[in-house]
Amino acid sequence: MSAVIEVDRVSKRFGALSVIDELSFSLEQGEALGVVGPNGAGKTTTLNMIAGDFRPTTGRVRFDGRDVTGLPAHRRCRIGIGRTSQVPRPFDGLTVFENVLVGASFGGAHRGHRARDVAVDALRRTGMLAKANVRAGELTLLERKRLELSRALSTEPKVLLLDEIAGGLTEGEVLELIDTIKSIHAAGVSIIWIEHIVHALLKVVDRMLAMDYGRKLIEGDPHEVMASDEVKNVYLGTEA
C-alpha cells in the first residue's frame, strides 16, 4: 500500500491563534478515511491545507509522494485533489450544468464534447441531472450541497475531500448520499470525509481519525475509535 495523501507534521497559525498543531496522518490509495471532532477542532482547516486554499505555517503536504505544499488550489485540483466545501461555493449566475462544466473543463482539463459528457456523468451520479438547466442561485441548501459533490466529481479526482456533506439532510437523503459516496469509493477514488453524522461515516469509511484542538486524538478502526475513551471524553456533554 502507498499513501496518496500525506500530512506531515503540519501546523497552522492565524496570527497568535494556533489552529493546527503538528498534525500528521496519511490516506492510503483507495482508502476512505473518516474525520470526526468537535466544532472548531480544525477539520476544515486541515482539509483546506490539503486542497491548497492556504499553506501550512510549518510542515508538508504530499500527494502521490510529491510535495504539493507550495502548489495553489487550482493546480492541486488539476492533479487530482477534488473537494467539496462546508459552506457551498456555487456559481449562482450559472446553471447547474455550467457549474459542473467548469470542473470538467478546468479541473478535469477536458474540452468540447468530452467536457460535456464528463459533466453530464457527474450530474447523473449525484442525482442532479434533472436540475441541469436551473440557475445555481435558485437551488435549495440541500441541492447546493449536492451540487458541491457533483462539481467535485466533475474534476475527476483521485482523492475526494468531503466536508460535512451530509449536514442538514433528512434520514432518507443521508441514505441516498451514502450510496452515492459508496459508489464513488467503489470506482477507486480515495476519500477523506469530515462528518458529524457518525452513523453515516461508519457505513462508508475504512478508518477513522478523531481530532481536537488541532491535534490527533486517536486513529484506527472506525468502531474502536468511536468507542474509545478519548472520543467519549471530547463528546461528553455534546451529542455524538
Partner 1 sequence: MSDVPAPAHVVRATTTSRVLGLLGVLLVAWLAFLAASDNPATQTKIVELCVFVVVASMWNLLAGYTGLVSIGQQAFIGLGAYGLIVFGNGYGQDVYFSIVPAALIVLIASVPIALLAFRLRGGYFAIGMWVIAEVVRLLVKQYKDDPIKGGSGTSLDVPTDLYPKAERFQTTAFIALGLAVLAVTVIALLLRSRIGLSLQAVRDNEHGAGGLGVNVYRERFIVFMIAALFTGAAGAVWYLLKIRIQPDTAFGVADWTAPIVVMVVIGGIGTIEGPIIGAALWYLVRDYVTSTDSAIQLSDEWYLIVTGLLAMVVALFFQRGLWGSLQRHFPSLQVFPIQRRLVVDDEVGDHRDRKRST
Using the rule CB under 6 A, is 137 a contact of ligand ATP?
no
Using the rule CB under 5 A, is 53 a contact of Mg ion?
no
Q: Distance between CA 109 and CA 121 in Å, rounded?
A: 15
Q: How far is CA 189 from CA 26, 80, 96, 172, 208, in A?
A: 15, 10, 23, 24, 17
Residue 109 or 227: which CB sits closer to partner 1?
A: 109
Using the rule CB under 8 A, is 106 a contact of partner 1?
yes
Q: Least distance to partner 1 from the beta carbon of 148, Å? A: 9
3-state SS class at 135: strand
Residue 107's contacts (CB-CB under 8 Å, 6 or more residues apart) are 74, 77, 78, 82, 154, 155, 156, 157
Q: Least distance to partner 1 from the beta carbon of 238, Å? A: 29
Question: Which residue from 40, 70, 72, 137 is in contact with ligand ATP, where contact means CB under 6 A?
Answer: 40
Residues linked to residue 32 through DSSP beta bridges, in sequence order: 191
What value, to the nearest 5°, has the Cα angle with vertex 86 and ends 73 and 74? 10
For residue 121, the partner it binds in partner 1, ligand ATP, Mg ion, none, with Cβ less than 5 to 8 A by kind, is: partner 1
3-state SS class at 6: strand
Question: Which residue from 17, 186, 187, 236 is in contact with ligand ATP, where contact means CB under 6 A?
Answer: 17
For residue 175, the partner it binds in partner 1, ligand ATP, Mg ion, none, with Cβ less than 5 to 8 A by kind, is: none
Residue 234's contacts (CB-CB under 8 Å, 6 or more residues apart) are 37, 38, 210, 212, 217
Using the rule CB under 8 A, is 214 a contact of partner 1?
no
Using the rule CB under 8 A, is 140 a contact of partner 1?
no
Using the rule CB under 8 A, is 108 a contact of partner 1?
yes
Residue 36 or 194: which CB sits closer to partner 1?
A: 194
Q: Distance between CA 154 and CA 16 in Å, rounded?
A: 38
C-alpha cell at 17: 491563534
Query: Binding residues for ligand ATP, per CB under 6 A?
Result: 14, 17, 19, 37, 39-45, 86
The residues that touch partner 1, with contacts defined as CB under 8 A, are 51, 53, 72-75, 77-78, 83, 85, 89-95, 97-99, 101-103, 105-109, 111, 116-118, 120-121, 124, 129-130, 132-136, 151, 154-155, 187
